[in-house]
Amino acid sequence: MFLQRNFLSLALAAGVLGLASCNKGGDFSKTKSGIEYQVFKSTGGGKYDSREVGAEGDATYKDRVGKIMALHVEYRTAKDSILFNSRKQQFGYPVRVPLDSVRKEQRGGLEEAISLLQPGDSAVFRFNVDSIFAKSFRQPVPPFMKKAGATMTMFVKVDKVQTREEAMADVQKMQAELPQKMQAHAKQQIKTDDVELQAYIKKNNLTVQKDTSGVYYAVTIPGTGAKPKAGQLVSVLYKGSLLKNGKVFDSSEKMGNKPFDFVLGQGQVIPGWDVGIAQFAKGAKGFLLVPSSLAYGQRGAGADIPADAILRFDVELVDVKNAPPAPASQQPNAADIQRQLEELQRQQQGK
């Protein structure tokens, strides 16, 4: 369900930066497990030369086991559609991957590919899509990936290899900096989005209202009763589409025509829904026009919602009722921070 705020649908997600230029169209080498690869070492001045990898892998990898690799990655489908790019969608921050010994069952997966890389390397890896999802993501291949073709390509630029303590310090620094970066981007982007939204409204001759947050909404069929309040459980039928081209990325119909339930005003959905659904009474139908900063922002969501995408939702508020009591909240502690890297690793493995 795209409305829930899980931005990393493919995990080890992060991005590259002009790394595609390293793929000069030459032949790929292949590991015994079937990974196709091209590895490049920097020669300075933005230039790279091919680096050979031994038949048994990189002999120096044993010296990096137990450390953390910071790297940028970009995933592409067989049709060259970009799935994720960290420099754009992670605000330039790298992914940090714990380096462990590669087990037999991981041969042919992301873990083996990462083990071939040294600090400063750039690389292009091409995987069989069935194999990579089974070995590294531990989930079935999504239909859109199957439709795109039999392979998935990963472009990589290694930033550095760190001790665990060094990586934790960088993660904490990132956590401190990220909110300000996101806020600055959102502030600028909402102005850009509003120009596009007003053009869309004018072109389609729509009658809408605008919330102070920047969400546009229209109630086309009035409901009955009072509007829902924050803390109440609401049930919504919906169809979500990209404003740019009208492509439907999610809908209740795809979910068996079952309403989506969430507690209003608790951050369980994108901010545009918390704002927009609050404008509808029970039984009302209409639509929301949500600027990207109140949807999935610069990160986007998987292959269906690109970065900085403005969204339209056609909605019906089916029901409103009091939510069940929430479980007692737990205060964060030092262990939460210490588990940050483990959580990143679990996300990267698709768990």
Q: Does 40 qualify as catalytic in the annotation?
A: no
Q: Which two tokens stand for residue 47?
A: 């230039």
Q: Is 314 a catalytic residue?
A: no
Which listed residue (250, 287, 305, 308) is catalytic?
Answer: 250
137 is catalytic: no
Q: Examine the residue annotation and report whether 250 is marked as an active-site residue of this protein.
A: yes
Instruction: Exactly one of 155, 238, 280, 287 is catalytic; name it.
Output: 238
Which candidate, 113, 117, 114, 157, places its Cα nearest to that of 23? 157
| Cα–Cα distance, 140 to 149 (Å, whole number) | 15
Verify whether residue 296 is a known catalytic residue: yes
DSSP string, 235-288: EEEEEEEETTT--EEEETGGGTSPPEEEETTTTSS-HHHHHHHTT--BT-EEEE
Out of 270, 277, 305, 310, pick the active-site residue.
270
Phi-psi region of 17 (alpha: psi -120 to 50; beta: other; left: phi over 0): beta
Q: Is 338 exposed, middle or buried (0-12, 13-18, 19+ CB in 10 A)?
A: exposed
Active site residue 305: no
Please tell me which residue in 91, 211, 249, 314 is annotated as part of the active site.
Answer: 249
* Selected catalytic residue, list 48, 280, 287, 313: 313
d(CA 167, CA 98): 10
Characterize 8-39 residue by residue with b for buried, 16 or more Cβ atoms within 10 angstroms of its Cβ, and e for exposed. Answer: bbbbbbbbbbebeebbeeeeeeebebebbbbb
Cβ proximity of 310 and 290 under 8 Å: yes
Catalytic residue among 170, 193, 296, 308: 296
| Locus of tokens 């081209």 | 245
Q: Which residues contact 95 (CB under 8 A, 6 or more apart)?
A: 12, 13, 14, 70, 71, 72, 73, 86, 344, 348
Which residues are annotated as catalytic?
238, 249-250, 270, 296, 313
